[in-house]
Amino acid sequence: MRTSATPTDRVWFITGAGRGLGRAFAEAALAAGDRVAVAARTLAPLEELAAAHPGRVLPLGLDVTDREAVFAAVARAVDHFGRLDVVVNNAGALAMGMVEEFTEAEARAQFDLNFFGALWVSQAVMPTLRAQGSGHVVQISSIGALAGFAGTGLYSASKFALEGMSESLAMEAAAFGVKVSIVQPGGYWTGLYTAMSNTTPLDAYGPLREELARQYAEGSVDSDPSLAARALLTLVDSEEPPSRLLLGSMVYDVAFDVSRRRMETWAAWEEVSRAAEHAIPAPAAGA
């Protein structure tokens, strides 16, 4: 098995590739001369892509929340193409609602797709990438992982979990020559909002919902997914890709604003923080 690939001879594995960012990523990879295993729950758009690029696209019907199915799909892609070079965990969904409103089933569904789906794919591809001694796993996170926002608490929680797992994975994978990058996009016209689910609203949050709707109406401007795809190609073409990449001016500014406010808070409470630690000998057994 080859351990490296030229920029125009890579094999990609992309989840959530039927539409939105995933579709844009697949089209950009194909335009670059690469081959792509595209996975999504709905097979029809993937088959259309395969028909337009004979021999270069492997369409895979896949629900990433099904761990056994994920491992089978990855094995099929490796068997078909002989290797994997770029893995993009893009499948995800947005569940809107106040934290108090989520049922157990709704909360678990958000994590099953946004976190566990990416975890299963990451686990499934690592044996191949380790054996190759190369590869690049790209985790598509969100502005929602920079901070929690009213109405998207469980979405943010699932993306925070994804990033925590991915930071550890990056340290573990580096020992085998495998790279991991977290990509945090801002807003893109992907169908994320039209396909999102909503909790059953509680009347108490009515005024807050009205305020949020006003803010979204005044400041919500999204971009063409092709811009994100262009940035992703720049990322994977890099010999030393960053561990994190922000996509968009808005998310860039939010990241710095959130970081500054956190540092200011930590500094203001430094005395309390430092006073909470003073090393002592281990307590005697049974004490």
pLDDT in tens, 134-143: 999 999 999 8
Residues 49/26, Cβ–Cβ less than 8 Å? yes
pLDDT of residue 219: 59
Biggest alpha carbon distance in the chain? Answer: 72
Average pLDDT for residues 153-164, to the nearest whole number? 97
Q: Which domains does the chain have, with CATH numbers?
A: 11-272 (3.40.50.720)
State the catalytic residue, choosing from 134, 155, 158, 181: 155
100 with 154: CB under 8 angstroms?
no
pLDDT digits (tens, 9 = 90+) for 48-64: 999 999 999 999 999 99
CA–CA distances in Å: residue 258 to residues 13, 35, 147, 209: 33, 38, 7, 23
Confidence of residue 216 (pLDDT cuts 50, 70, 90): confident
State the catalytic residue, choosing from 122, 134, 142, 159. 159
What pLDDT is stored for residue 215 in this prediction? 82
Using DSSP's 3-state secondary structure scheme, residue 6 falls into coil
Amino acid identity for residue 272 in this structure: V
Q: Please choose, from the candidates 33, 232, 66, 53, the residue with its C-alpha nearest in 3D space to the C-alpha of residue 136.
A: 232
Q: Torsion over CA of 125, 127, 129 and 132, rounded to 10 degrees?
A: -150
Q: Please indicate whether residue 179 is annotated as part of the active site.
A: no
Euclidean distance between CA atoms 159 and 143, whole angstroms: 9
Is 60 exceeded by the pLDDT of residue 243?
A: yes
Stretch 225-250: mean pLDDT = 94
* DSSP symbols for 150-193: TTBHHHHHHHHHHHHHHHHHHHHHHTTT-EEEEEEE--B-SSTT
Cβ atoms of residues 157 and 140 within 8 Å = no
Contact assessment for residue 88 and residue 13, using Cβ atoms and an 8 Å cutoff: yes
Using a cut of 0.85, tell me whether the model's pTM lies above it.
Answer: yes
In tens, the pLDDT along 170-199 reads: 999 999 999 999 999 987 666 666 677 999
Q: Which residue has the tokens 């991991």?
A: 180
In this predicted structure, what is the pLDDT of residue 57?
98
Count Cβ atoms below 10 Å from residue 52 Cβ, excluding itself: 11
Per-residue pLDDT at 135: 98
pLDDT at residue 9, rounded to an integer: 84
Residue 35 near residue 12 (C-beta atoms within 8 A)? yes
User: Which pLDDT value is given to residue 141?
Assistant: 96
Q: What is the pLDDT of residue 193?
A: 63
How far, in Å, CA of 90 to CA of 190, rounded?
12
The count of other CB atoms within 10 Å of the CB of residue 245 is 18
Q: Is the pLDDT of residue 70 over 90?
A: yes
Q: HSE (CB half, 13 Å, CA atoms) of 56?
A: 17
Confirm whether 193 is a catalytic residue.
no
Instruction: Give the pLDDT score at 223.
Output: 78
pLDDT at residue number 187: 75
Identify the active-site residue in 122, 141, 158, 166.
141
- What is the rounded average pLDDT for all residues in the chain? 92
Angle CA(256)–CA(257)–CA(262) in degrees, nearest 5? 95
pLDDT tens digits, 72-113 = 999 999 999 999 999 999 999 999 999 999 999 999 999 999
